[in-house]
Amino acid sequence: MKHRLTLILGVLLPAVSVVQFASAQNSELVQLHENIPYADTDNPRQMLDLLLPSKRGDKSLPVVVFIHGGGWRNGDKLRGRNRIEPFVASGNYAGVTVGYRLSGESKWPSQIHDCKAAIRWIRANAKKHNLNADRIGVWGTSAGGHLVTMLGTSGDVEIMDGSLGSNNQYSSRVTCVADFYGPTNFLTMNATAIKTARLDHDAADSPESLLIGGAIQENPEKVATANPITYISTDDPAFLIVHGTKDPSVSFNQSELLYAALEKKGVEKTFITIDGGGHGRGFPPKITELVEKFFDHHLRENRTSWSDQTIQAVPREQRR
């Protein structure tokens, strides 16, 4: 599912723009519904983009949701379009990329409240767009990996759900989670960092401290509310965890902690270790294939055998 987005048509609708995207071969088209408010506000951060295949059958489509990274202080939902467009272009999925309030605007738990409001919006509008409300997979990188992991472990946890928007009668639970190098326990990030790491996570101006509104080591109780491991239960969805052993920004141990906690509760999970991989760098094409298989397995019942595995990072000289 390798497609390059090409803009070929734009049509303006009330509050939503609809754009046609095509693959490089112009063989598969994707319709983009842009800037849809999911929390009944006009805040541009509380909006999502909905991608639908322009050619589809009558069957309701499972949904792949992407949540961007950026240390909770940078980034934009636009980052997710290239990630989910191939799934939608296949005709087998709908796609959503979610914006959320950054830490400079609002502190934790605003970010997870936004993400959960977006999941509820999907369910509330499933009939309108012929979506399968029972099959929602989420995928995120870095800070987005943290947020999708929170979606997976804190489903229907009231304090994490919040009450944004008018769709609170719907569940915020998801079907499966693809977590790419997301943080878990902020308090241990410095202690487990690789020797060449330069980021001081304990500093008052670190991404983690800015997220919770104070230096993390001085606010352990608040930090615990942002740790997805806090909420793990036996009925959590399946996880795909991907992390590089040489990640200088989010230590590899953060995913080890998550894996061990999921193991303790008997939650289905698969850990893909990228030996020598950095913070999203050096990941071979096989990782994209595994993500595709993961969502096909859990959202489309195209069953695959899963096992933990270690994959060598792409050498620097071979990277583009």
Give domain status of residue 20, yes or no: yes
Question: Is 67 a residue whose pLDDT tops 60?
Answer: yes
Predicted local confidence at residue 58, as pLDDT: 85
Domain with 47 in it: what CATH number? 3.40.50.1820
pLDDT in tens, 220-248: 999 999 999 999 999 999 999 999 999 99
- Report how far residue 8's alpha carbon sits from residue 18's, in angstroms, rounded to the nearest whole number: 11
Q: How many folded domains does the chain comprise? A: 1
CB 139 within 8 A of CB 67: yes
Predicted local confidence at residue 315, as pLDDT: 87
Question: Is 25 a residue whose pLDDT tops 60?
Answer: no
Give domain status of residue 205, yes or no: yes
Give domain status of residue 1, yes or no: no
CA atoms within 13 A on the CB side of 305: 1
The separation between CA 66 and the C-alpha centre of its own chain, rounded to angstroms, equals 4
156 φ/ψ angles, rounded to the nearest 5 degrees:
65, 20
The separation between CA 237 and the C-alpha centre of its own chain, rounded to angstroms, equals 14
- The one-letter code for the residue type at 28 is E
Q: How confident is residue 317, by pLDDT bands cut at 50, 70 and 90?
A: low
Closest by Cα among 201, 312, 156, 181 to 258: 181
Give domain status of residue 196, yes or no: yes
Predicted local confidence at residue 320, as pLDDT: 54
Sheet order of strands, 94-98 included: 6-13, 16-22, 29-37, 47-53, 94-98, 61-67, 131-141, 176-180, 238-244, 269-275, 309-312
Question: Could you tell me the residue range of the domain that residue 171 belongs to?
Answer: 6-318
Give domain status of residue 32, yes or no: yes
